[in-house]
Amino acid sequence: MHNGAYGEAGVIFWGISDEREETLADFRTAFDIDMPILLDSQKEAQKLYQSTVAFPTAAFPHTYIVDAQGKLIYYNNVHDTEELAAALDDLIATD
């Protein structure tokens, strides 16, 4: 999803994880992930955005969309490609 029209519109995709580098390397290989995955061993990103969602948990992968000003505009802990695309389309349309 991080290629194509979203990239052309200036959207940047990053993964953020507090896992060990070796674990991330295995994950990237297993799922053929080529986007950057940033290490957050001190869980600073988690602390920043976890307090803004109704059911904060670190147990599952989460999807956040943060606008250029750092405002959280979308959150989901279920992988829903259509919903994510709609949120990105809304963001692009407002820029």
Q: What is the pLDDT of residues 1-19, one digit of tens each?
A: 455 678 888 888 888 888 8
- Establish how many alpha carbons lie within 13 A of residue 34's alpha carbon, considering only the half-sphere containing its beta carbon: 3
| Cα distance between residue 13 and residue 7, in whole Å | 9
| Cα distance between residue 26 and residue 32, in whole Å | 10
| Cα distance between residue 2 and residue 74, in whole Å | 16
Instruction: Give the number of domains in the chain.
Output: 1
pLDDT at 56: 57
First to last CA, the chain: 19
pTM: 0.65
Residue 62 pLDDT > 80, yes or no?
A: no
Average pLDDT over every residue of 39-62: 70
**Which CATH number is 58's domain given?**
3.40.30.10
Query: Which residues constitute the domain of residue 85?
Result: 5-94
Residue 63: both structure tokens together: 């999807």
